[in-house]
């Protein structure tokens, strides 16, 4: 009886911190983090702009600062789209070409419209997007990538 009680006490002592750890990580990963990257007044409607910002990422017990790039397009007074900077073909960095009025990937010539749709090259799906929020005229970009 004493041994069974002692075993139960040890199991409870281990289970409670483990449960808190699992719940805390599950909640914090699902919430995602948003980083303020620009003031809306800095973005012109219909003009793609590359923005670079820093994000803190937790990897196990390590806290890492990483540089993140996004292509942002202000679509009207209140809305902005932010694209992940990797081409959806094989992950090369693409860029906006004003003369061609498209996002162009130099690796294999995939072409994307300003709203991320594929119009040329081997890419088979639209550009991936970051979750975004606009609060008090500030653009915030989330850590989650929304695949099309």
Binding footprint of ligand FES on the chain (CB under 6 A): 87, 89-92, 105, 107-108, 110, 121-123
Of the two residues 55 and 128, which places its CB atom closer to ligand FES in the complex? Answer: 128
Residue 50: phi and psi, rounded to 5, are: -85, 130
CB 96, min distance to ligand FES, A: 14
> Both tokens of residue 111?
């072409």
Residues 22 and 16: their CA atoms lie apart, in Å, by 10
CB 90, min distance to ligand FES, A: 4
Extract the runs of DSSP E, i.e. beta strands, from 10-125: 34-39, 49-59, 62-74, 80-83, 95-97, 102-104, 111-112, 118-120
Of the two residues 84 and 110, which places its CB atom closer to ligand FES in the complex? Answer: 110
CB 21, min distance to ligand FES, A: 39
């Amino acid at each position: 009886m004493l041994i069974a009680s002692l075993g139960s006490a040890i199991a409870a002592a281990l289970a409670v911190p483990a449960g808190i750890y699992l719940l805390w990580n599950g909640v914090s990963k699902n919430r995602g983090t948003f980083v303020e990257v620009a003031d809306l007044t800095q973005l012109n409607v219909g003009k793609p702009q590359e923005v670079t910002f820093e994000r803190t990422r937790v990897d196990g017990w390590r806290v890492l600062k990483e540089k993140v790039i996004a292509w942002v397009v202000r679509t009207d007074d209140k809305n902005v789209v932010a694209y992940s900077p990797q081409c959806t073909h094989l992950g090369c960095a693409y860029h906006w070409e004003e003369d061609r009025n498209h996002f162009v990937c130099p690796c294999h010539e995939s072409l994307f419209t300003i709203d991320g749709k594929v119009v040329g090259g081997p890419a088979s799906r639209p550009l991936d997007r970051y979750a975004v929020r606009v609060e008090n005229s500030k653009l915030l970009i989330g850590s989650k990538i929304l695949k099309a």
